[in-house]
Amino acid sequence: MRIGVLGAGAMGSAAARLLGRHDDVEILVLDIDADRARTVAAEIGADHRGVDIGSGSLRDALSGVQSVAACIPYRLNLPVMEAALTAGCHYADLGGLFHTTRRQLELNAKFREAGLSAVLGIGSAPGITNLLARAGADRLDAVTSVDMLDGAVDRSGEFGLPYSAETVLDEFTLPAMVYEDGTMREVPAASGTVRYEFPEPIGAQEAFYTLHSEPATLPATIEGVRDVRWRLALPEAIARGFRLLVSVGLAGTDPVELPGGAVAPRDLLIALLNRLPSAGDAPQDVECIDAVVRGLRDGRGTTFVGRALLRPSPEGLSAGAFGTAIPIATMARWQAAGRIQPGVHPPETSVAAEAFLDDLAAEGVEVSFPPAPPGAAALG
């Protein structure tokens, strides 16, 4: 099978390396920067090509692959979906930060008619979060609430980017969406803070609402659920750093007049963040994703917890990069093998959740179903 990886940045290069574990996969690395694509491809013995999402070059490149893993800024998801549709190629991405995801779902009929599949938000969160929520719902007779939390710790103590700078800034600035008592509502970014007990070495961390894709789909795909909430708990140094950057206005989009000309603070900040050097030593981060699902089983109130624990991979990928890239790499293989039904799907309806989680476990994700941690009953 021939699989395209669009984007040769941190997540795209990680997905390409993880696809390289499988001898039956031919990989094509695609990026607007042909040199960057060449560098990643050379490391794993893959093909490469420079492409421009705004032109026909992407469509032409995708016509030669069965599926594409789009590891790109979420604002580019829709045009890439259109290119994949025109090229006759299955599509998967890392999420649309709620509003883009909803627009992408509108392409369902076109993909179904073309006999193609598109899976939206199949990274760690969204992605593993949705699958754990679905696994929990499948074990209950009725579901009332789903709370998803993602916590991490980096034992190096360094400040760094956990993923795309643009996405992190959006999560700290754009209003979050929360589904409560059967109603979707907007809440301030980084509000709704709770202290949640993650397993060691992460421990107790403050988790807060951010704009995310899970509430865009789970209220419709888990029958009867009344509450769907997502919270993020970044390593303390990173959360504190981004809160400071936002508080002093460096996430603003209005140009500021300087002696050298007008500069939008956000553009400058993203450029500087993207220049941060990668950690030279072996990664030391650990990440945990919990889905706390409450409902009824055999007439009794029950709380189910699905957990994914992520550690650095044998390839030298950080836990965060591994956890984000392995689901989309696995989904691209499933799509190329014809295992996903045509149409546009969120993760929780694209596959049998526990079967896909078993595949992720075989790749190194530590999936478990532990007792509810202290404080889980107080989520809300």
What digits encode the pLDDT tens for the residues 286-315?
Answer: 999 999 999 999 999 999 999 999 999 999
351-380 as b/e: b if 16+ CB within 10 A? bebbebbebbeeebbebeeeebbeebeebe
Per-residue pLDDT tens digits for 44-98: 999 999 999 988 899 999 998 999 999 999 999 999 999 999 999 999 999 999 9
The pair of structure tokens assigned to 64 is 């030669």
* pLDDT at residue 258, rounded to an integer: 83
- The H or E element that residue 105 is part of is helix 99-105
The pair of structure tokens assigned to 22 is 């499988």
What single-letter amino acid sits at 329?
A
CA 155 to chain centre: 22
* pLDDT at residue 28, rounded to an integer: 98
Contact 249, 255 (CB under 8 A): no
259 has a pLDDT exceeding 90: no
| Pairing mode, strands 2-6 and 67-70 | parallel
Across 342-370, average pLDDT: 97
Q: What is the DSSP letter of 296?
A: E
Per-residue pLDDT tens digits for 312-328: 999 999 999 999 999 99
Q: Give the confidence band of 160 by pLDDT, cuts at 50, 70, 90.
A: low
* pLDDT at residue 278, rounded to an integer: 60
Entry pTM? 0.92
What single-letter amino acid sits at 320?
G
* pLDDT at residue 304, rounded to an integer: 95
* pLDDT at residue 237, rounded to an integer: 76
128 has a pLDDT exceeding 90: yes
Q: Give the confidence band of 43 by pLDDT, cuts at 50, 70, 90.
A: very high
- The H or E element that residue 375 is part of is none
What are residue 306's DSSP bridge partners? Answer: 291
Report d(CA 117, CA 90) in Å as an integer.
5
163 has a pLDDT exceeding 90: no
Which residues touch 327 (CB under 8 Å, ≥6 apart)? 122, 123, 124, 127, 128, 347, 360
246: left (phi over 0), alpha (psi -120 to 50) or beta: alpha
338: left (phi over 0), alpha (psi -120 to 50) or beta: left
Report d(CA 274, CA 242) in Å as an integer.
14
Angle between helices 10-19 and 319-336 (to 10 degrees): 60
* pLDDT at residue 157, rounded to an integer: 64
Residue 353's closest CA among 118, 178, 139? 139
Q: Give the confidence band of 101 by pLDDT, cuts at 50, 70, 90.
A: very high
The 3-state DSSP class for residue 286 equals strand
Across 210-230, average pLDDT: 97
Per-residue pLDDT tens digits for 239-254: 888 888 888 888 888 8
32 has a pLDDT exceeding 90: yes
Residue 154's closest CA among 68, 235, 73? 235
Give the position of tokens 């609402």: 209
Percentage of the chain lying above the pLDDT 90 cut: 78
Say how many residues make up the chain: 380
The pair of structure tokens assigned to 276 is 């941060």
Percentage of the chain lying above the pLDDT 70 cut: 97
Report d(CA 93, CA 89) in Å as an integer.
13
- For the chain, the average pLDDT equals 93
* pLDDT at residue 305, rounded to an integer: 96
